Structure 1
Amino acid sequence: MVIHIIKQERKIMSDLIVNTTDANFDQDVLQSDVPVLVDFWATWCGPCKAIAPILEDLATEYQGKVKIVKVDVDNNPQAASRFGIRNIPTLFVFKGGEKVDSVMGLQPKAELAKVLDKHL
């Protein structure tokens, strides 16, 4: 039963965005062969909901070049604590297993694209 729940939480959103868990964070993010944009968010967060369609657009535009991963901080407190998440949405870019950039708060698509382009 536990395995089923973990798989369900890891479901892929909009086919291109991965919803990861504490248990799978290293595999989904740190071991990725491409840069990863990680969105630390929560279901109750208005700005987090507002940035979701922007992330879906970026996932389509950067398909194969960047991986978009979401971490629900309420359901995955270890990942949030591990990276000192205090405000949401907070977005980190990881490359080669290391955090290389960060963006806090709701940002326009063009700004997030600029951040991603720096790490391609």
Structure 2
Amino acid sequence: MYQPEEHSNQELQNFIEAPGRHIVFLSAEWCGDCKVIKPFVQAIRDQVEKTADWMDADRDQNLDWASQFGLKGIPAFVLFENGQKIDQIGHGERLTPKQITEWYENTLK
């Protein structure tokens, strides 16, 4: 099962401000819907990393960082490009792998 890596708020900020396309997976250990999606996250990450960099964020440990982008519901996958938030999927509802990959593919168009 996928185990998200921990990062500081500053690491997340530096990551999204770097040139290029970046995905942040926002979750928390206690989140039931996050636990449901975790078996599929590595496959999603492998697909996304063909065209974007990836970083994990913990909703509780990175609360200040998440709040500045209005990120409250988890699990969430958030797309940034060149320092700007482009889009996100997930606002606290259960997501399927298909929903996530289709959302990401649609952002490439």
TM-score (norm 2): 0.78
Q: 1:85 aligns with which of 60, 65, 71?
A: 71
What residue is the counterpart of 1:113 in the other structure?
101
- 8 Å CA contact 2:16–2:82 kept in 1: the answer is no
CA distance in 2, matches of 1:94, 1:39: 11
5+ residue gaps, structure 1, are: 1-12
CA positional deviation for 1:56: 0.8
Matched, 1:48 2:34: yes
Matched, 1:66 2:55: no
Count of residues paired in the alignment: 105
Please identify the structure whose Cα radius of gyration is greater.
1
CA positional deviation for 1:45: 0.5
RMSD: 2.2
- 8 Å CA contact 1:59–1:66 kept in 2: the answer is no
5+ residue gaps, structure 2, are: none
